[in-house]
């Protein structure tokens, strides 16, 4: 096997749940659901479910109450962001000790760039290193670009290694639905299906001009490139830097009192301001998310006159953006996001 450049994608299996199980070994083998305040009778959504819980149909983004109905024996735990960040940092530090370039893309995943004649052996070493240093399991996808490596990870889960390259692309991907591609979601899949394009092979053979009419001159042809397996090969050793800081709250009861909502908004804005100050970078934009009952979500944002970390300025901007919403129905969730300058 000749030496060449490879991209490996590392994805920590059921990460949030795995961290909690590592802290509470008595939960091993039981269905565990992490999300919100850990109260299945309260408003909130599932952040992560263990594989045992997923077997009951519990998945990320599902309301906690629905998860409790599907899996009444599940253990519900609150999200603990500082704990997850600490474990993630240990994982990434361990990966950086290997002969690879590490590009962190989130708490639980990273791309690795490596020159090797045996990528499977390197992937095995990655899995062993993560397990030894943190006790966590991970899956590793091997590819000749990031797109293929990312998709290969899906085939490797849980706790395995898989390879996807240009040589095997059509055999593995042609028959799959279009949303099997990294970057195509459910809405795009439905729109493609309405145009008679249902599989990756059909998307790869589609007329770029017709796709441009459907999705725009840049996005349409880009989807066709994805169907051919195209993707970035460059792995950059830059530390993961958050693009924004956000806080949100889900109310126990839908609220329609504007003054009460604005007070909640003020508290969220203060917490975001603290996060921005701790990050040491000024915010350039402020965005507000409002989820109306039952599940209609709207987001609006504004660019600040000048980047700032000042709590009063961020609060004023948040209140101004909130005033742009038409509050014609009760609110169940409110969120504030500060986007950093230069992002």
Q: What is the DSSP string of 35-69?
A: -TTS-TTSS-B-SEE-HHHHTTT--TT-BHHHHHH
* Tokens (6 digits) for 143: 């590819």
Among 19-28, 85-94, 230-239, 293-302, name the one with the lowest average pLDDT. 293-302
What is the predicted pLDDT for the residue at 209?
A: 94
In whole angstroms, give the CA distance from residue 208 to residue 214: 10
Active site residue 109: yes
What is the predicted pLDDT for the residue at 342?
A: 66
- Give the bridge partners for 142, in sequence order: 8, 163
Q: What is the pTM of this model?
A: 0.73
- Domains, the chain, ordered by start: 4-14+82-164 (3.30.70.270), 16-80 (3.40.1170.60), 169-227 (1.10.150.20), 244-340 (3.30.1490.100)
**127-155: average pLDDT:** 97
**185-204: average pLDDT:** 95
Catalytically annotated residue among 109, 120, 128, 313:
109
């Amino acid at each position: 096997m000749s030496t060449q450049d490879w991209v490996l994608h590392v994805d920590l299996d059921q990460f949030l749940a795995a961290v909690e199980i590592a802290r509470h070994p008595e939960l091993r083998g039981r269905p565990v659901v992490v999300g919100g305040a850990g109260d299945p009778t309260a408003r909130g959504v599932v952040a992560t479910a263990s594989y045992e819980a997923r077997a009951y149909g519990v998945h990320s983004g599902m309301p906690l109450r629905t998860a409790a109905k599907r899996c009444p024996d599940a253990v519900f735990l609150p999200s603990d962001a500082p704990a997850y960040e600490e474990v993630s940092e240990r994982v990434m530090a361990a990966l950086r000790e290997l002969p690879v370039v590490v590009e962190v893309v989130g708490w639980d995943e990273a791309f690795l760039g490596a020159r090797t004649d045996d990528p499977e052996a390197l992937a095995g070493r990655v899995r062993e290193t993560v397990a030894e240093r943190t006790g966590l399991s991970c899956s590793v996808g091997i590819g000749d670009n990031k797109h293929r490596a990312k998709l290969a990870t899906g085939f490797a889960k849980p706790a395995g290694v898989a390879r996807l390259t240009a040589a095997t692309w059509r055999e593995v991907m042609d028959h799959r639905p279009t949303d099997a591609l990294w970057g195509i979601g459910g809405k795009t899949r439905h729109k493609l299906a309405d145009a008679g394009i249902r599989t990756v092979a059909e998307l790869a053979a589609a007329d770029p001009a017709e796709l441009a009419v459907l999705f725009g001159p840049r996005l349409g042809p880009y989807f066709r490139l994805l169907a051919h397996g195209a993707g970035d090969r460059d792995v950059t050793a830059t530390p993961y830097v958050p693009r924004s800081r956000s806080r949100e709250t889900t109310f126990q009861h839908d609220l329609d009192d504007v003054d009460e909502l604005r007070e909640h908004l003020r508290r969220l804005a203060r917490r975001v301001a603290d996060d921005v100050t701790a990050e040491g970078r000024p915010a350039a934009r402020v965005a507000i998310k409002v989820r109306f009952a039952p599940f209609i979500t709207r987001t609006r944002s504004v660019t600040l006159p000048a980047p700032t970390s000042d709590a009063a300025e961020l609060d004023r901007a948040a209140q101004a953006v909130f005033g742009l919403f038409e509050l014609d129905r009760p609110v169940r969730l409110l969120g504030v996001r500060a986007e950093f300058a230069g992002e």
